[in-house]
Structure 1
Amino acid sequence: MAHAVSLLWPNYSGILKEIFKDPESFRRTVTTLSRRYRTSLAGLVFIVIAALVAAKRFHSKSKQQKRPGLSQRQSSAVILKDGWSREIYVPNNGKLSRVVISPTKPITFQAHRRLFFDPIANNTHKQIGVNKKFLHQFSAIWAILVPRFRSKASMLLLIHTLFLFVRTYLSLVVAKLDGRIVRDLIAANGTGFIKGLVYWLLIAIPASYTNSIIKFLQSKVSLEFRTRLVRYIHDIYLDDTLNFYKVSNIDGGIEGIDQYITADLIKFCDAAASLYSNLGKPAVDFMIFSYQLRRNLGPLAVVGIFSNYFATAWLLKAMAPSFGLLTSVEGRLEGEYRNAHSKLITNAEEIAFYDGTALERSILIKTYARLASHIRAILRIKVSYIMFEDFIIKYSWSALGYLFSSLPVFLPNWSGDDAKTEMAPSLKAANKDFRERDRMKQFITNKRLMLSLADAGSRMMYSIKDLSELAGYTARVYSMLATLHRVHANAYGNKNPQVRARKQHKIKLYSLEDVQGTMYEGFDGIRFEHTPIVVPGLGRDLSAGELLVKDLNIRINPGEHLLISGSNGTGKSAVARVLGGLWPVFRGLVSKPLNKDISFLPQKPYLSNGSLREQIIYPSSEIEMYEAGKTDADLLDILRMVRLEYLPDREGGWNTKKQWKDVFSGGEKQRVMFARILYKQPRFAVIDEGTSAVSSDVEGLLYETCQKLGITLVTISHRPSLLRYHKAQLRLGEGAHGDEWVLEQTGTDEARLSVEREIAELEEQLGKIDELKHRRTEIADILLGKKTAGNSGV
């Protein structure tokens, strides 16, 4: 190494002395730089200034976040002046970041509805791919991603585009500089060579920054796309119409919506952002480099280049498999595999008790085998396609590039204007060496331009495959959004009477096309007026519903506690689902209080991920609790009412967070549900088997406490002992077909006979206990005898 330096130093030291021996000469050298390099330096200064301004803004924002006086609550939510947006402060890297959330307005959903009811985009007979259907689907989603020009996503795309132009310009400068460096190297022009290296290093700074910022902006665009879509989906998925329940249980149009939101959405946003970069940069390169090559190589070369691109695009499109369909199927299989694991986690205890490990393992193995088989098929398809693609793009294009770059050498009269003007002094001087060096410079410059143009073209051609994959992701995201809009608008079937008549469309009785009832909120009580209770069929195939209760016609006034009884499958819980808005009102009128005046206690207790305090006040937040004037002392009083006052001490305080579904016993879970009712103190409470795991004495205490607080109870239960806490009983499952109902007032002869009849049935069942025990002993003896015989045979 030292020997090499000693050999090179005399040459380079002389060059450096020649450059810097005269300051005036050095000044003239700097001022005579070409306009292109001065522009590059100006661009570098601009980028550095922009980076400094951005850093200053970030620093000032950080100081503002550290400023005392900001709310540092764990869940802050402040409604802004527009009455719609919310402002929250969330922890971020040890600081507080201000986030403004603007929920999607209902008028926006109405405006977008036509985009997601588009018959072209929803055409199931059209194959998934880059076609008219894909364009309609992507344009509908684009209205969510970039709603207006002044949106954040629009600004990010604009800045991204600006840097794409900057990178293209820098690539052009680097190509010319590369040619000059090679020319000076061949000519042994040390001064020019050193200058070229200095310029190269200077341009490397903005070029490196530009490449880095483009990748950063691509990630920012993807994140902004995902943020907008997630907020939009949350607003329509988790709204007052209970879409999160109806999508899976009533519509049935898509399965595993969590896979769509958590996985497919990410892939779509990444593909859309990367495709913009992979198409935007090559498109800019294509225009600028083509123009420059037109000047250097002439029109013949440019025509040949464009002809090559069009021929390649046609070949690749003709040979390309249906990547969109393959990607869509892969996403569906990924969702099935994910759902299989989710089901295993959710029902782990039940599966363990049933000893279903082997069966569940076989289900997971088969589900994954289908997914792996499909992925292997995709890989096999990609092998041949990528081989053909690489041969065309990497090698055929390189050969054509060398051919076109040689035109100024072998056919100088066919070359471009720049080549002719640069060759004229050489011809006049008749200097063969200089002419060769000049040709070398032109060749290196044109070669780099051709390589850059080939890279741009190859990225555009590779984007054909990426575009097909984007079509698959777009189809899945669009189907999810279309389903959410359909459920949100209750738009099932064809609403056009002319189309129905032309297609001889027949509406099935009690299908989701046949919803003609009305739900009224704000009534002082609960009322069913000639309302059938129907299990709705799935909306995707518009199947007919199953009638459970015929023509229900009752009214519950405040203070008139009602017990709903009947055997399994008669529609007891279905009445609560219709009243709660989960199931549609097919006929008649259902009137109920406002949501704040009625609470529902379902059969399966739900415990959220949060503190012990949040289990009691659910669905209210801690801020809403404090704003209502409630304290932890009030919560402790409520726990005393339900005999759970020991929980704060046992669990470590109100702020303790655990997996409460695994901590509480069955009886404790149901009493926590009653604590929620006592905390909210609604005017009406619908309780569906809410005390099945509670002892009779505590059960009576819970009902008496609710009645003392003025809560009108509507109880769904099999227990006849609860009749004493109610003034009326609604018996379902009556009549020959089991769809009739009977309403009785407690204390009447009919009610007493009904209770006595139920007690007699229970006593009859209890009388068979000895007989059943004897039969159990006989079966055990038989099994034991077989086992003994088997052992003796061995």
Structure 2
Amino acid sequence: MPRLEKIKGKGTKRPRLDWKFVQRFCSIQKVLFPSWTSPNVIMFGTLLGITLTEQLIIYQVGVLPSHFYYVLADKDYSGFKNLVGMAMVLIILNSTLKSLDQYICNQMYVSWRKTLTESLHTAYFKGRVYYTLNVLREDIDNPDQRISQDAERLCKQMSTMASRLIVSPFTLTYYTYHCFNSTGWIGPVSIFGYFVIGTIANKILMGPIVSTLFEQEKLEGDFRFKHMQIRVNAESAAFYRAGKVEHMRTNRRLQALLQTQKSLINKELWLYIGVNTFDYLGGFLSYIIIAIPIFTGIYDGLTPGELSALISKNAFVCIYLINGFTQLIDLSTTLSDVAGYTHRIGELREVMDDILREQCDYDPASGESYDFDSDFDVHAGPLDTAFIVDHLSYKSPYSDQLLVEDLSLKIKQGTHLLVVGNTGTGKTSLLRVLNRLWEAHSGFVQMTTCFGPRGTLFLPQKPYLTDGTLREQVIYPLKDIYPASGSVDDDRIIQFLELAGVSSLLKRTGGLDEVVDWNWYDVLSPGEMQRLCFARLFYLQPKYAVLDEATSALTEGAEAQLYRTCKQLGMTLISLGHRSSIEKYHDVQLKLCGGGRWELTKIRASSGSLNHRDEDM
């Protein structure tokens, strides 16, 4: 049986520019370019055509000075006017093509980000992947940052590199041919040798940068998460007067981040020195290559004007060829960023695929693979039964100690179950196992009803309020388009808000469909949040309602009203709680005694025990 355990201290290989990077980069490209007819491929092809045309125009602009030298030396006024006119046309064409180049790169950035982020969202929200990543795994840091920021930065960096990379093979081939015609074999050989040396040097200098950038992004996520934690829990921290300690802990994360950033800056210094050195050396190399045929007497028969024109043309060809190589070397700093983001996103995709594969391979409800896209589909089973538990043993993923051992029971329609026990005995953990958030250590669990309306709904201990209108709060987790809109549905929602005791929210929000600009958690009290969740429960009207201390912030009178309404609406209750006041709404009590022990008794016929396991008695 597979186990989703929290991985602690897992040693991971430091990210580098290696074959793993190539594999991850190629897998991301398959997401960005899914087919030959996709919009991204069409934009990429358009960019290729524009950049090639741009290079042809650049070549014509580059050799214009040689023509000017020639006509000026001959004092050819007519030829000079024609060259000026041609120069104006070429400059306008070149500026237009450059603008189109940048425009398409920006469009590709937006399209790439949309495609990549939506692909990550698809995997992230499939089944319980988002839960497993954020709660049960430690080998992936800050998945939210990887999706929201790292993906954006990767697409931005790739878009800045795109036009230069796709045109490089064509420009290098074209200018190598012209350089060979101008200088012979020594010119191209010298330039290629210069590029090889520069590439090796930059590869050596880039190695430490990739892993340091990877670590920096992790610490950025930790720092941002700390601020988010304070924002979400500001009131609780204020009640503790915890400003000083949170200040200290936040600064501690900031210092760790800044220390890594300084290390990255120090390592990038040597890369910048190498890049800039090769940039300036390239200018000198072009003149050395041009000088060789001149000093060897190849051009002795030319007039000064013709020689000036030839030198200008050859200089442009050699310099542009060297510039093509130096641009690739300059991209090494961008490539190091791309490598860091590629490793972070690639690692996230691999872990999400691995989690989803484990979840699909093992389904506690039926032992077969489960379609996580159909969370509201009905599982086969007895019509009057919600859960079948047979010799179930379970424990926390963070501990080896069993919370409950060898538990067997059936939760049937019309039989209301109350689960009690001291803190830490595994009450909420039982719900996690029933809902397949955690896997059982041994035994068998089958959920025979569907999730959602007409099936089973879980109300967690901490109320969850999504962003959106009051209607969207009530119908959650149904999709916005699912419920019927109109007066009938509005009347139902208003009725259930009144039954839950939060009809005042209609006035505060301005109506069911008015968009609010506040955080629901900041505006509502804990009791109001629990009442709103009950209004949601009433609207969805499941057969089985699993309540994890869902009335802990309410008075006993309000609690009694909500429980009575649930039963009047035909719900079978599975409740977790400490209050004795809710016993009267249940038929059977499951008491978790700790150490794996449990007791199952009838509440209304308490003279006997239905099942009892206590190895100490």
CA distance 1:290–1:650, change in 2 (3 Å): closer
Aligned residue for 1:307? 193
Q: How does 1:144-183 map to 2 (within 5 A)?
A: 144-183=31-70
Give the greater-gyration-radius structure (CA): 1
Paired with 2:390 and 2:581, the residues of 1 have a C-alpha distance of: 29
Task: Answer whether contact 1:168 1:284 (CA < 8 A) is retained.
Answer: no
CA shift, 1:221, in A, is 2.3
Residues 1:221 and 2:108 aligned together: yes
Aligned residue for 1:730? 590
Aligned residue for 1:742? 599
Task: Answer whether contact 2:282 2:323 (CA < 8 A) is retained.
Answer: no
The match for 2:175 among 279, 289, 296 is 289
1:653-701 Cα shifts (integer Å, max 9, x gaps): 2233132222222222111111111100111110010111222222212
Aligned residue for 2:469? 611
Aligned length: 583
Paired with 1:152 and 1:354, the residues of 2 have a C-alpha distance of: 54
User: Could you list the runs of 5+ residues in structure 1 that have no partner in the other structure?
Assistant: 1-122, 416-422, 496-511, 538-543, 753-794
CA distance 1:264–1:744, change in 2 (3 Å): same
Aligned residue for 2:580? 720
Aligned residue for 1:410? 295
CA distance 1:679–1:371, change in 2 (3 Å): same
CA shift, 1:380, in A, is 2.3
Paired with 1:312 and 1:738, the residues of 2 have a C-alpha distance of: 66
Paired with 1:317 and 1:621, the residues of 2 have a C-alpha distance of: 50
Task: Answer whether contact 1:605 1:669 (CA < 8 A) is retained.
Answer: yes
Paired amino acid for 2:68: I
Paired with 1:236 and 1:629, the residues of 2 have a C-alpha distance of: 37
Paired amino acid for 2:156: D
Aligned residue for 2:412? 557
Aligned residue for 2:450? 594
The match for 2:436 among 581, 589, 593 is 581
The match for 1:529 among 390, 402, 410 is 390
Task: Answer whether contact 1:614 1:622 (CA < 8 A) is retained.
Answer: yes
CA distance 1:412–1:276, change in 2 (3 Å): farther
Aligned residue for 2:376? none
Q: How does 1:133-152 map to 2 (within 5 A)?
A: 133-152=20-39
Task: Answer whether contact 2:470 2:512 (CA < 8 A) is retained.
Answer: yes
CA distance 1:148–1:555, change in 2 (3 Å): same
Task: Answer whether contact 1:727 1:746 (CA < 8 A) is retained.
Answer: yes
Aligned residue for 1:200? 87
Aligned residue for 2:73? 186
Residues 1:690 and 2:560 aligned together: no
CA distance 1:310–1:666, change in 2 (3 Å): closer
Paired with 2:489 and 2:606, the residues of 1 have a C-alpha distance of: 48
Task: Answer whether contact 1:172 1:289 (CA < 8 A) is retained.
Answer: no
Paired amino acid for 2:476: Y
Task: Answer whether contact 1:322 1:468 (CA < 8 A) is retained.
Answer: no
Paired amino acid for 1:548: L
Please, what is the CA RMSD of the aligned residues?
2.5
Paired with 1:282 and 1:489, the residues of 2 have a C-alpha distance of: 40
Residues 1:369 and 2:237 aligned together: no
Q: How does 1:291-690 map to 2 (within 5 A)?
A: 291-394=177-280, 396-413=281-298, 435-490=303-358, 518=367, 521-523=379-381, 524=383, 525=385, 526-537=387-398, 545-592=400-447, 593-596=449-452, 597-626=455-484, 630-656=488-514, 657=516, 658-690=518-550
CA shift, 1:399, in A, is 1.2
The match for 1:708 among 568, 576, 582 is 568
Aligned residue for 2:3? none
1:187-242 Cα shifts (integer Å, max 9, x gaps): 32222111111101101122111111112222222222221111111111112x22
Runs of 4+ in 1 over 6 A off after TM superposition: 514-517
CA shift, 1:412, in A, is 4.9
CA shift, 1:124, in A, is 6.6
Task: Answer whether contact 2:402 2:595 (CA < 8 A) is retained.
Answer: no
Q: Which moved more, 1:376-385 or 1:718-727?
A: 376-385
CA shift, 1:619, in A, is 1.7
CA shift, 1:319, in A, is 4.4
CA distance 1:545–1:182, change in 2 (3 Å): farther
* SS at structure 2 position matched to 1:322: helix
Task: Answer whether contact 1:182 1:440 (CA < 8 A) is retained.
Answer: yes
Task: Answer whether contact 1:183 1:441 (CA < 8 A) is retained.
Answer: yes
Paired with 2:201 and 2:582, the residues of 1 have a C-alpha distance of: 77
CA shift, 1:408, in A, is 4.2
User: Could you list the runs of 5+ residues in structure 2 that have no partner in the other structure?
Assistant: 1-9, 371-378, 610-617
Paired with 2:201 and 2:505, the residues of 1 have a C-alpha distance of: 71
Paired amino acid for 1:250: L
TM-score normalised to the size of structure 1?
0.70
1:575-605 Cα shifts (integer Å, max 9, x gaps): 1111122111332222221113111111111
CA shift, 1:127, in A, is 4.1
Residues 1:261 and 2:147 aligned together: yes
Task: Answer whether contact 1:527 1:554 (CA < 8 A) is retained.
Answer: yes
1:164-197 Cα shifts (integer Å, max 9, x gaps): 2112111111122221023223332222111111
1:247-303 Cα shifts (integer Å, max 9, x gaps): 121222212211111111112222233333332233322111111122222222222
Paired with 2:245 and 2:530, the residues of 1 have a C-alpha distance of: 32
CA distance 1:703–1:635, change in 2 (3 Å): same
Q: Percent identity?
A: 26
Paired with 1:384 and 1:627, the residues of 2 have a C-alpha distance of: 63
Paired with 1:459 and 1:694, the residues of 2 have a C-alpha distance of: 67
Residues 1:129 and 2:16 aligned together: yes
Paired amino acid for 2:538: L
CA shift, 1:125, in A, is 6.4
Aligned residue for 1:5? none
* SS at structure 1 position matched to 2:438: coil
* SS at structure 2 position matched to 1:626: coil
CA shift, 1:628, in A, is 9.4
